[in-house]
Chain A
Amino acid sequence: MSDEHKIAIRVRDVSITFPTEDGPVTAVKNVSFDIRENEFFGIVGESGSGKSTVCRAITRLLPDRAEVTGEITVHAQKMLEMDLDRLRDIRGNGISMIFQNPSSHLNPLMTIGDQISETARFHYKRNREELNELAVSTLKDVRFSNPEGQVNAYPHQLSGGMKQRAMIGAALACDSKIIIADEPTTALDVTVQAEILDLLIKLRQERGLTIIIISHDLGVISQLCDRIAVMKDGELIEQGRTEEVILSPKEDYTRTLIASRPEAIRLHNSAWKGEPTESGNPVLAVNRASIYFGGQGRNAVVKAVEDVSFDVMRGDIVGVVGESGSGKSTIVRAMINLNTLSSGEILYDGRDVRNFKGAERVNFLRKVQMIFQHPQESLDPRFSIEQCIMEPLKLHKIVPKDRIASRVRELMEMVELSPDLLTRRPRDISGGQAQRVCIARALAMEPEVIIADEITSALDVTIQAQILRLLTRLKEQMGLTIVFVTHDLDVVRTFCNRVVVMQIGKLIETGTPQQIFETSSHDYTRRLVAAIPHLPQGLSQSETA
Chain B
Amino acid sequence: MNALAIPMRAVRQLPGLFIVGFVITFAWIAVAILAPVLAPYDPDAIAFDALLTAPSPDHLMGTDQLGRDIFSRVLYGARVDLFMGVVGLIVPLVIGVFLGLLSGYFVGWTDTIIMRALDITIAFPFLVLVLAIVAVLGPGLSSYFVALALVAWVPYARLVRGQVKLIKQTDFIAATTSLGFGSTYTLIRHVLPNCIVPALVFAVTDFVLIILYGSSLGFLGMGAQPPTAEWGVMIADGQTYLSTAWWISFFPGLALLTLGVGAALLGDGTAKLMRVER
Interface residues of A (CB under 8 A from B): 21, 333, 336, 338, 361-362, 365-366, 369-370, 372-374, 377-382, 391-392, 395-396, 438, 441, 445
- Please pick, from B5, B171, B180, the residue contacting A361 in the complex, using a CB distance under 8 A: B180
- Please pick, from A21, A377, A392, the residue contacting B179 in the complex, using a CB distance under 8 A: A392
Q: Which 5 A-B pairs have the closest CB atoms?
A: A378-B175, A377-B170, A372-B171, A365-B180, A370-B178
A382-B171 in contact given A362-B180, A366-B180 (Cβ < 8 Å): no
B275 close to A (CB within 8 Å): no
For residue B116, which residues in chain A have a CB less than 8 angstroms away from its CB? Answer: none
Interface residues of B in 131-180 (CB under 8 A from A): 170-172, 174-175, 177-180
For residue A392, which residues in chain B have a CB less than 8 angstroms away from its CB? Answer: 179-180
Give 26 A-B contacts (CB < 8 Å), ordered by A residue.
A338-B174, A361-B180, A362-B180, A369-B178, A370-B174, A370-B175, A372-B171, A372-B174, A373-B171, A374-B170, A377-B171, A377-B172, A378-B170, A378-B175, A380-B172, A380-B194, A381-B194, A382-B1, A382-B3, A382-B5, A382-B193, A382-B194, A391-B179, A392-B180, A441-B179, A445-B179
For residue A380, which residues in chain B have a CB less than 8 angstroms away from its CB? Answer: 172, 190, 194
Docked pose: A535 CA to B175 CA in angstroms: 36
B181 close to A (CB within 8 Å): yes
**Which of B5, B174, B190: most chain A Cβ within 10 A?**
B174
For residue A362, which residues in chain B have a CB less than 8 angstroms away from its CB? Answer: 180
- Please pick, from A338, A382, A396, the residue contacting B180 in the complex, using a CB distance under 8 A: A396
B198 → chain A closest CB, angstroms:
14
B13 close to A (CB within 8 Å): yes
Docked pose: A396 CA to B176 CA in angstroms: 13
Nearest B residue to A379, CB-CB: B175
Interface residues of B (CB under 8 A from A): 1, 3, 5, 9, 13, 170-172, 174-175, 177-181, 185, 190, 193-194
CB-based contact B180/A21 at 8 Å = no
A157 → chain B closest CB, angstroms:
23
**Which of A373, A395, A396: most chain B Cβ within 10 A?**
A395
B203 → chain A closest CB, angstroms:
19
Docked pose: A366 CA to B170 CA in angstroms: 22
For residue A366, which residues in chain B have a CB less than 8 angstroms away from its CB? Answer: 180
B231 → chain A closest CB, angstroms:
40
In the complex, how many residue pairs between chain A and chain B have their CB atoms under 8 Å apart? Answer: 54
**Which of B170, B178, B181: most chain A Cβ within 10 A?**
B178
B115 → chain A closest CB, angstroms:
15
Docked pose: A365 CA to B174 CA in angstroms: 12
For residue A379, which residues in chain B have a CB less than 8 angstroms away from its CB? Answer: 175
For residue B178, which residues in chain A have a CB less than 8 angstroms away from its CB? Answer: 336, 338, 365, 369-370
CB-based contact B3/A378 at 8 Å = no
CB-based contact A365/B179 at 8 Å = yes
Docked pose: A333 CA to B178 CA in angstroms: 9
CB-based contact A378/B5 at 8 Å = no
CB-based contact A374/B180 at 8 Å = no
Q: A369-B178, A372-B175, A382-B5 are in contact. List 16 more A-B contacts (CB 8 A).
A: A333-B174, A336-B178, A365-B179, A365-B180, A370-B174, A370-B178, A373-B171, A374-B171, A378-B171, A378-B175, A379-B175, A391-B179, A391-B181, A392-B180, A395-B180, A438-B175
For residue B175, which residues in chain A have a CB less than 8 angstroms away from its CB? Answer: 370, 372, 378-379, 438
For residue A365, which residues in chain B have a CB less than 8 angstroms away from its CB? Answer: 178-180
For residue B1, which residues in chain A have a CB less than 8 angstroms away from its CB? Answer: 382
For residue A395, which residues in chain B have a CB less than 8 angstroms away from its CB? Answer: 180-181, 185
Nearest B residue to A373, CB-CB: B171
A456 → chain B closest CB, angstroms:
15
Docked pose: A124 CA to B175 CA in angstroms: 55
A447 → chain B closest CB, angstroms:
10
Docked pose: A379 CA to B190 CA in angstroms: 10
Nearest A residue to B191, CB-CB: A380
Docked pose: A155 CA to B247 CA in angstroms: 61
A73 → chain B closest CB, angstroms:
40
B106 → chain A closest CB, angstroms:
16
Docked pose: A362 CA to B177 CA in angstroms: 10
A507 → chain B closest CB, angstroms:
23
Nearest A residue to B182, CB-CB: A395
Docked pose: A338 CA to B181 CA in angstroms: 13
B181 → chain A closest CB, angstroms:
7
For residue B180, which residues in chain A have a CB less than 8 angstroms away from its CB? Answer: 361-362, 365-366, 392, 395-396, 445
A209 → chain B closest CB, angstroms:
39
For residue B181, which residues in chain A have a CB less than 8 angstroms away from its CB? Answer: 391, 395
